[in-house]
Amino acid sequence: MRSGAVRHDTRIGVGPTTTDGAPVERWTHDDVEAHVTDTQILLLLLPVILIEIGLIIFALRDLLRPERTVRGESKLMWGLIICFISLIGPILYLTVGRREE
């Protein structure tokens, strides 16, 4: 076994140890959570939020064009789908809801 390798003991109540017998440090959920700040989470979500808002605006502008026809003949229904079904709503409208003239 190489130096620093982890050895698992099969006895009940005995956790993993290194080859020299020292216990392996385990990270808890609180340890991981402490390393991710709110700013980092916001920066990770920002592109998704911007894409979602852009898709909603694009889909609503397209829906509100007077010459646009939609499946089901209900622009109100498609407007609600676009606004309330998050990221999937605008994509559904743009792929399935529009009727090309």
Total domains present in the chain = 2
Does residue 25 sit in the same domain as residue 8? Answer: yes
pLDDT at 12 over 60: no
Angle among Cα 12, 16, 20 to the nearest 5 degrees reads 120
Does residue 48 sit in the same domain as residue 86? Answer: yes
Rounded to the nearest 10°, the torsion over CA 57, 58, 64, 68 is: -160
Does residue 68 sit in the same domain as residue 100? Answer: yes
Position 38 confidence tier, pLDDT thresholds 50, 70, 90: confident
Does residue 5 sit in the same domain as residue 45? Answer: no
Q: What is the pLDDT of residue 6?
A: 54
Does residue 29 sit in the same domain as residue 57? Answer: no
Helix axes 75-84, 38-63, angle to 10 degrees: 170
Does residue 31 sit in the same domain as residue 42? Answer: no
Q: What is the pLDDT of residue 37?
A: 84
pLDDT at 60 over 70: yes
* pTM summary value: 0.62
> Domain range holding 95?
36-101
pLDDT at 46 over 80: yes
